[in-house]
């Protein structure tokens, strides 16, 4: 396995939630650095007994913004 991709959304309170697109891995954090650490730990825990592990992790930040237009 080459890469695992996480879709990251920012919550209204400023925290982040990351969910794996191809694996059932979900984690959250209060800030970006904590999220990076939590994602690495979650991936390590998910693959702890599997011979094939991803070589990299991609965090894809999804941002939803509404602009007033009038």
Residue 32 located in a structural domain:
yes
Residue 34 located in a structural domain:
yes
Residue 16 located in a structural domain:
yes
| pLDDT 10s digits, 43-63 | 999 999 999 999 999 999 998
pLDDT (0 to 100) of residue 44: 96
Residue 47 located in a structural domain:
yes
Provide the whole-model pTM: 0.88
Q: Which of 25, 16, 33 is nearest to 53 (CA)?
A: 25
Place of tokens 């695992």: 4
The domain of 7 spans: 3-62
Domain count along the chain: 1
Q: Which of 15, 14, 22 is nearest to 6 (CA)?
A: 22
Residue 69 located in a structural domain:
no
Residue 55 located in a structural domain:
yes
DSSP for 2-59, written as a single string: -EEEEEEEE-TTS-EEEEESSS--EEEESSHHHHHHHHHHHHHHHTTT-S---SEEEE
Residue 68 located in a structural domain:
no
| pLDDT 10s digits, 30-45 | 999 999 999 999 999 9
């Amino acid at each position: 396995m080459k890469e695992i991709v996480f879709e990251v959304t920012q919550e209204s309170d400023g925290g982040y939630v990351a969910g794996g697109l191809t694996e059932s891995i979900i984690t959250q954090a209060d800030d970006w650095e904590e999220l990076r650490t939590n994602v690495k730990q979650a991936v390590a825990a998910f693959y702890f007994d599997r011979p094939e592990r991803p070589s990299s992790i991609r965090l894809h930040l999804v941002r939803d913004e509404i602009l007033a237009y009038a």
